[in-house]
Structure 1
Amino acid sequence: MRKLKIIEHISLDGVIQHTADEGDFPYSDWIAPYRTPAGLAAVLAAQGESFDLLLGRRTYDIWSDSWANASGSPMADGINAATKYVVTHRPESLEWGPFEGVGSGIVEGISRIKSKDGPDLILWGSSTLTSTLLEHAIADEILLVVYPILLGTGKRFFAEGTPARSLELVSTKAMPSGIVLITYKAAGPLKTG
C-alpha cells in the first residue's frame, strides 16, 4: 500500500490560500519572498523522486494553468510526470495528464488508489479535500511548510469541523529564511486526560 502525504505551505495563522481564485484574497503568492534553493531542495526531498498527486478540482485547474507548460526543473518535471488523481464531478473535462478521476465516492476512491502499487501520493492545496482525508484517517503523513507571517484572512488548512486527531512529530527543519518544515504522522484519535 502506498503512503498518502499532505504537503502544505502555511502561514503561522493557518492560511494556505495563495491566489484570489475566489473572492478578494489580497495576498497572492505570499510565499515568493521566501523561495530559496535550500527550501526547494527540502520540498523536493519530501516529495521523493517519484510520486503521484491527489488534487481537488480547483487545485487541478489552477495547477494545469501554471505547470502544464513548465519544464526543465525537477519540480515541474516531477509534477508533470505524476499521475494526477482528481476529485471532480466532471472527469470528462480533464486535459492535463496523465490523470484519472477519483470517482463519486471520495473516501472509497482514494482508499482504492492507495491500495494500488505505485509511488506515494501527495496532496497539495485542496483545502476541502484535506479535511476529508483527516476525518477518515486516510492521510499517513503531513508536512507543513510554515512561513513566519500572519495573513489574517484566507482559506485555512484546518477547516471548522475538522475532527480531533493526534499527530506524532517525525521531524523539523528550520531554514535560514525563517521557514520551518514540520513533518507529522497520523497517530490515531485524540488522546486526552
Structure 2
Amino acid sequence: MRRLKIIEHVSLDGVVQHSVDGDDFPYPNWNVPFRTPEGRDAVLAMHGERFDLLLGRRTYDLWARFWPTVPANPMADRLNAATKFVATHRPETLHWGPAEPLGPDVAEGVRRVKADDGPDLVLCGSSTLTSTLLEQGLADEVVLIVYPVVLGTGKRFVAEGTPARSLELAETQTTPSGVVLTRYQLAGPLTAA
C-alpha cells in the first residue's frame, strides 16, 4: 500500500497560496527570497527519490504550464516523471502526463490509488484537497516547510471546519535562511485532555 505525504510551503500564519490565482492575493512568490541550496536539497529529500503526485485541478494547471518548461534539474525531472493523479471534472484535458483522473468521488479515488502498487504519493499546493485528505484520514504524513514571514491573507493550509487531528513529530531541519522543515506522522483524531 502506498503512503500519502502532504508537503506544503507555508507562512507562519498558515498561508499556502503562492500565486495570484485569479484573485487579489498581494504576495505572489513570497517564498523566493528564502530559497537556498541547502533548502532545495532538504525539500528534495522530503519528497524522496521517486514519487507520484496527487493534485487538485488548479495546481495541476499551474504546474503543467511551468514544470515541463524548466531546464533539467532533480526537482523538475522528478515532477515531470511522476504520474499525476488529478481531482478534475475535465479528464480529457490532462496533457501534462503521465496523468490520470481520480474520478467523481475524490476520496474513493485516493483510496484506490493508495491501494495500488507504486511509489508513495505526494500532495503539494492543493489546499482544498489537503482538508479532504485529512478529514477522510487518507494522509499518512505532513511535511510543513515554514517560512519566517506573516502574510495575513491568502489560502490557508487547512479549511475552516477541518476535523482536529493529532500529529507526532518525526523530524525537523532548519535552513540558513530561517526556513524550518518539519515532518509529522498522522496519529489520528485529537482527543481532549
The reply to whether TM is greater than 0.5 is yes
Q: Note the residue ranges of structure 2 that are not aligned, 5 or more in a row.
A: none
What is the DSSP-based 3-state SS (H/G/I as helix, E as strand, rest coil) of the residue aligned with 2:150? coil
Identical amino acids, percent of aligned pairs: 64
Residues 1:125 and 2:128 are matched in the alignment: no
What is the DSSP-based 3-state SS (H/G/I as helix, E as strand, rest coil) of the residue aligned with 1:10? strand
Runs of 4+ in 1 over 2 A off after TM superposition: none
Alignment of 1:19-168 (within 5 A): 19-168=19-168
CA distance in 1 between counterparts of 2:51 and 2:123 reads 10
Shift of 1:71: 3.3
CA distance in 1 between counterparts of 2:165 and 2:134 reads 8
Shift of 1:180: 0.4
RMSD over equivalenced CA pairs, Å: 0.7
Post-superposition CA distance 1:114-151 (Å, at most 9, x none): 01111010000010000000000100000000000000
The aligned counterpart of 1:2 is 2
What is the DSSP-based 3-state SS (H/G/I as helix, E as strand, rest coil) of the residue aligned with 2:18? coil
Q: Given that residues 2 and 117 in structure 2 are in contact (C-alpha distance below 8 angstroms), is that contact kept between their aligned partners in structure 1?
A: yes
Q: Given that residues 83 and 99 in structure 2 are in contact (C-alpha distance below 8 angstroms), is that contact kept between their aligned partners in structure 1?
A: yes
Q: How many residues align?
A: 193
CA distance in 2 between counterparts of 1:86 and 1:78 reads 17
CA distance in 1 between counterparts of 2:121 and 2:76 reads 16
The aligned counterpart of 2:18 is 18
Q: Note the residue ranges of structure 1 that are not aligned, 5 or more in a row.
A: none
TM-score by length of 1: 0.99
What is the DSSP-based 3-state SS (H/G/I as helix, E as strand, rest coil) of the residue aligned with 1:182? strand
Post-superposition CA distance 1:54-105 (Å, at most 9, x none): 0000000000011122231000000000000000000011101000000001
Q: Given that residues 9 and 145 in structure 2 are in contact (C-alpha distance below 8 angstroms), is that contact kept between their aligned partners in structure 1?
A: yes
In structure 2, the CA distance between the partners of 1:71 and 1:117, relative to structure 1 (3 Å rule), is farther
CA distance in 1 between counterparts of 2:81 and 2:156 reads 29
Post-superposition CA distance 1:12-52 (Å, at most 9, x none): 00000000012100101011101111001001111111000
Query: What letter corresponds to residue 118 of structure 2 in structure 1?
Result: G
Query: What letter corresponds to residue 160 of structure 2 in structure 1?
Result: E
